[in-house]
Amino acid sequence: MKCARCGGSGFYTRQYSGETLCKSCFTQSIVEKARRTISRYRMIRPGEKVAVAVSGGKDSLSLLKVLTELYAGRRNPLVAISIDEGVAGYRDEAIEHAGRLTRELGVQHVTLSYKELFGFSLDEALDWKEERDVSSCSFCGVFRRRAIDEAASRVQASLVATAHNLDDYVQTFMLNLMHGDVARLGWLDPAYADDSFPVRRVKPFMEIYEAEVALFAYQTGVPFQSVSCPYMHEGLRSEVRDYLNLLESNHPGIKNVMFRSSLDVVSHYARAPEKGTVPCSRCGKPSSAGLCSVCRMKVAVEEHTRLL
């Protein structure tokens, strides 16, 4: 098959559109797709400093590459921020990859660790977590969101770009339904802005399949990690991910249809719930009950550690 854009030798066919592309047009199409998403949802305004959340995995390194291509030499300065959760043998390699790519691209790179911010690493905290009915990723996610906000504030960025892709979006939509968290669907609206937090979150890859991001990474020489987080297979998300992948292989394009439907639901029918406005009594960040979720978990981990 020939490339639909340049007539060169076809290498990839997009199942949901039927479009066949050569290697170079495919790579360019990912940059273009991200550019269109940014512009469609007005994610990045002229002059804003963008913090790119770079975990060091293939998705976030690809995002950094794409944003560097779109913004290098323009008025929007970029800075890469990495969070070291403290997972022995896993995050060190990722942060090394991130360091190498940021040096290559000439992008400032700032790393912040859970240990430095909260006083414990994820490995240490999970000893406490084991007694609770919460998955490691949900637990980790609460601290990670705070750490990303903190890192972005320290580098004075107006917004954080994360590498969440179309698959992540559909999974989160389904997980919210499965957990009965219908109210949270409103937060998935790309137009939703949470004024109680100093930095906005944007997802320039939200309209791109995870498999296409992986292909982009492979084609552009982004390093792949040799180990994955030992905690990632816990919880419902990995089951939902497997199920969606099975559906996609039996019905090519179905994830794209589900993404469009989810977007339609959140933008027309869901309303984001009010975020807490009471300052947390420990850290001063917005909370709904006087103690924010980060401090609530932090207090419990500290108490548990004291009792050991």
- Residues 223, 226, 230: CA angle, nearest 5 degrees: 130
Q: How far is the CB of 236 from Zn ion (least distance, A)?
A: 27
C-alpha–C-alpha distance, residues 292 and 270, integer Å: 24
CB 122, CB 84: distance < 8 Å:
no
Contacts 24+ apart (CB under 8 A), 144-148: 144/83, 144/85, 146/117, 146/285, 146/294, 147/83, 147/112, 147/114, 147/117, 147/118, 148/51, 148/53, 148/81, 148/83
Measured from the CB atom, the residue of 137 and 254 that comes closer to ligand SF4 is 137
Measured from the CB atom, the residue of 113 and 267 that comes closer to ligand SF4 is 113
**What does 232 bind: Zn ion, ligand SF4, none (CB cut-off 5 to 8 Å by kind)?**
ligand SF4
**What does 137 bind: ligand SF4, Zn ion, none (CB cut-off 5 to 8 Å by kind)?**
ligand SF4
**What does 140 bind: Zn ion, ligand SF4, none (CB cut-off 5 to 8 Å by kind)?**
ligand SF4
Q: How far does the chain reach from its first CA to its final CA, in angstroms? A: 64
Q: How far is the CB of 65 from Zn ion (least distance, A)?
A: 35
Please report where in the chains the tokens 């089951």 appear, as a residue: 239
Q: How far is the CB of 298 from ligand SF4 (least distance, A)?
A: 16
Q: How far is CA 253 from the centre of its chain?
A: 22
**What does 231 bind: Zn ion, ligand SF4, none (CB cut-off 5 to 8 Å by kind)?**
ligand SF4
From candidates 21, 295, 297, 301, binder to Zn ion by CB under 5 A: 295
Name the β-bridge partners of 200.
Answer: 159
CB 100, CB 74: distance < 8 Å:
no
**What does 266 bind: ligand SF4, Zn ion, none (CB cut-off 5 to 8 Å by kind)?**
none
User: Which one of 1-9, 201-209, 253-261, 290-298 is the stretch in contact with Zn ion (CB under 5 A)?
Assistant: 290-298
Tell me how long the chain is: 308
**What does 163 bind: Zn ion, ligand SF4, none (CB cut-off 5 to 8 Å by kind)?**
none
Question: Per 3-state DSSP, what percentage of the chain is helix, strand, and coil (rounded to 5)?
Answer: 50, 10, 40
Q: How far is the CB of 133 from ligand SF4 (least distance, A)?
A: 16
Residue 283 engages Zn ion in binding (rule: CB under 5 A): yes
**What does 282 bind: ligand SF4, Zn ion, none (CB cut-off 5 to 8 Å by kind)?**
Zn ion
Q: How far is the CB of 144 from ligand SF4 (least distance, A)?
A: 6
Distances (CA, A) of 262 to 1, 102, 177, 185, 270: 33, 34, 11, 9, 10
Residue 265 engages Zn ion in binding (rule: CB under 5 A): no
The residue ranges that bind ligand SF4 (CB under 6 A) are 85, 87, 136-137, 140-141, 229, 231-232
Measured from the CB atom, the residue of 129 and 146 that comes closer to Zn ion is 146
Structure tokens at 54: 């770079």
Q: How far is the CB of 156 from Zn ion (least distance, A)?
A: 22
Measured from the CB atom, the residue of 108 and 277 that comes closer to Zn ion is 277
Identity (one letter) of the amino acid at 32? E
Q: How far is the CB of 241 from ligand SF4 (least distance, A)?
A: 12
- Residues 245, 252, 13: CA angle, nearest 5 degrees: 110
Q: How far is the CB of 230 from ligand SF4 (least distance, A)?
A: 8
Binding site for Zn ion (CB under 5 A): 280, 282-283, 292, 295
